[in-house]
Amino acid sequence: EVQVVESGGGLVKPGGSLRLSCIVSGFTFSSYSMNWVRQAPGKGPEWVASISASGGYIYYADSLRGRFTISRDNAKNSLFLQMNSLTAEDTAVYYCAREAGATLGYWGQGTLVTVSS
Amino acid sequence: EIVLTQSPGTLSLSLGERATLSCRASQSVISSYLAWYQQKPGQAPRLLIYGASSRATGVPDRFSGSGSGTDFTLTISRLEPEDFAVYYCQQFDSPPRYIFGQGTQLEIK
pLDDT at B14: 97
pLDDT category at B96 given cuts 50, 70, 90 is confident
pLDDT at A44: 95
Give which of A57, A104, A109 to mutate to test B binding, by max B Cβ within 10 Å.
Answer: A104
Average pLDDT on A88-115 reads 96
pLDDT at B1: 86
CB A96 within 8 A of CB A22: yes
CB A112 within 8 A of CB A8: no
Q: Which residue of B has its CA nearest to A108?
A: B44
Number of Cβ pairs closer than 8 Å across A and B?
60
Antiparallel, parallel or unpaired: β B54-55 and B63-68: unpaired
Task: Verify whether the Cβ–Cβ distance A104 to B43 is below 8 Å.
Answer: no
- Nearest-Cα distance to chain A for B57, in Å, is 10
Cβ–Cβ contact B97 with A under 8 A: yes
pLDDT at A65: 76
Cβ–Cβ contact A41 with B under 8 A: no
CA B98 to chain centre: 14
CB A62 within 8 A of CB A46: no
Which amino acid does the sequence have at B13? L
pLDDT digits (tens, 9 = 90+) for A49-72: 999 999 999 999 998 878 999 999
- Radius of gyration of chain A from Cα atoms? 13
- Enter the DSSP assignment of A10: E
pLDDT digits (tens, 9 = 90+) for B41-90: 999 999 999 999 999 999 999 999 999 999 999 999 999 999 999 999 99
**Mean pLDDT over each residue of chain A, to the nearest integer:** 96
Task: Verify whether the Cβ–Cβ distance B92 to A37 is below 8 Å.
Answer: no
